[in-house]
Amino acid sequence: MPISFDRARELAQRLRRGLSLDVLKGRLTPRDPELHPPPPRLPAQGLWSDEARTARLAALEARVGELPHLGGRAAAVDAATLKGNIENFVGMTQIPTGVVGPLRINGLHAHGDYFVPLATSEGALVASFDRGARLITAAGGVATLVTTEQVQRAPGFVFASIAEAALFAAWAVEQFEHWRAVASTATSHGQLVDLQTHIEANHVYLIFHFYTGDAAGQNMVTFCTAAICTDLLARSPISPTTWFLEANMSGDKKATALSFISTRGRNATAEVRLPAALVEKRLHTTPERMAQYWRMSFIGGVQSGSIGVSGHISNGIAALFLATGQDVACVSEASVGITRMEVEADGSLYAAVSLPNLIVGTVGGGTRLPTANECLRLLDCVGADRASRLAEIAAAVALAGELSIVGSLCAGDFSRAHAAFGRNKAAR
């Protein structure tokens, strides 16, 4: 997304975090699996027995400690602890959770080998993302980067005339610093970082942009904007005839044309370079064929009016959101992205995914629910200073899925994979 000079300078300072450019470049550089071996895969791959599940769970617990809720050993959840997460509570919905990896990530925030939990009932999904994760790891890992971080709320105001609307908008833009102070009274973690105005006849939309720390932030920006609007109504030289706290111009829980203009959540990107021999060995196709497929699919996406063009980013984002207690409705904007695949001069495959609207958090909301907390613990994403890490993991997972599905389509084994993993044959 294009950003102003001031925002770009602030972003550069935050990304560097006092580190030299050489250190930053080093963190994004692939790590040779032979020199830095990844951890072994989870045991009992391809088996559906209770013994296999127990073995896999034991391997994960050896890494991060006990996982009683995922393991089904914990007592039932106390209904009183769910206040703020659910109303009229009757019970817990269970969704199978699998793990992919190891997935090697060389990011500014996520840096290591991760076993990533994905919750889904779609057969073949975990197997596909696991294949992509292992492919990336064999290539030395995926570079990931989070840039812009912001969440919007867009109140709307109605005036008697265009003239009043214009005068109000001119007054409003002068109030930014004052409203930044007002917003700070409603949160100790967020900050008002930008304000845009939009006039449509006698309507004025004020689009407030907030930095929300490690929270996903939808409630935070609502509370801050409500406080600003209270101040606005008390001080505005021109009173609106009516107004609404959200006038549907923030992009909340929907794919919109704003997706690549103004980040909502965290803007994350991931890239990997795959040697041709590795593509041929692991995906049974070639970089040239994968790039050819990408070109055709991109043109197909444009013709169908797709907002963003990808294979199945939403599969990975939804499964990760379910596992880690994110707001699943935000998949509508979070899965908007662009996948790119190109053949480089040496014949290797360059692949990248850009996700401009990752609404993720590691504090508050559903992240405190039992299984969500355990899944976040698997990723070292519990608590403060972890949300950008989770966003980079999400981008890496999305890229793993894109590589796997494109490789499957190019090799001609897409339908065979779903026949093998996507049908319930009463496995024992």
Answer whether 313's CB lies under 8 Å from 269's CB: no
Give the separation between CA 304 and CA 298, rounded to whole angstroms: 10
**What is the spatial distance between Cα 348 and Cα 188, in angstroms, rounded to a whole number?**
48
Q: How far is CA 97 from the centre of its chain?
A: 18
Confirm whether 122 is a catalytic residue. Answer: yes
Helical (H) or strand (E) element with 400? helix 387-411
The Cα-based distances of 335 to 164, 276, 313, 354, 369 in angstroms read 39, 28, 6, 10, 23
What is the three-class DSSP state of 55?
helix
CA atoms within 13 A on the CB side of 73: 8
From the list 391, 363, 370, the residue with the least C-alpha distance to 323 is 370
Dist CA 276 CA 259 (whole Å) = 33
* Catalytic residue chosen out of the listed positions 214, 327, 333, 402: 327
How many residues are listed for the chain in this entry?
Answer: 428
Question: What six digits make up the tokens of 163?
Answer: 């003239």
Residue 408's nearest CA partner among 328, 315, 270, 307 is 315
Specify the amino acid at residue 385: D
Structure tokens at 226: 């409500």
Per DSSP, the three-state class of 137 is helix
Amino acid at 94: Q
| Whether 133 contacts 41, CB under 8 Å | no
DSSP secondary structure letters along 144-191: EEEEEEEEEE--EEE-SSHHHHHHHHHHHHTTHHHHHHHHHTT-SS-E
Which listed residue (122, 246, 280, 342) is catalytic? Answer: 122
Q: Does the annotation mark 111 as catalytic?
A: no
**Secondary-structure percent of the chain, ordered helix, strand, coil, rounded to 5:** 45, 20, 35
Q: Which amino acid is at 216?
A: A
Whether 50 is catalytic is: no
Cβ partners under 8 Å of residue 397, min gap 6: 100, 103, 116, 118, 129, 133, 316, 317, 320
Residue numbers annotated as active site: 122, 327, 418
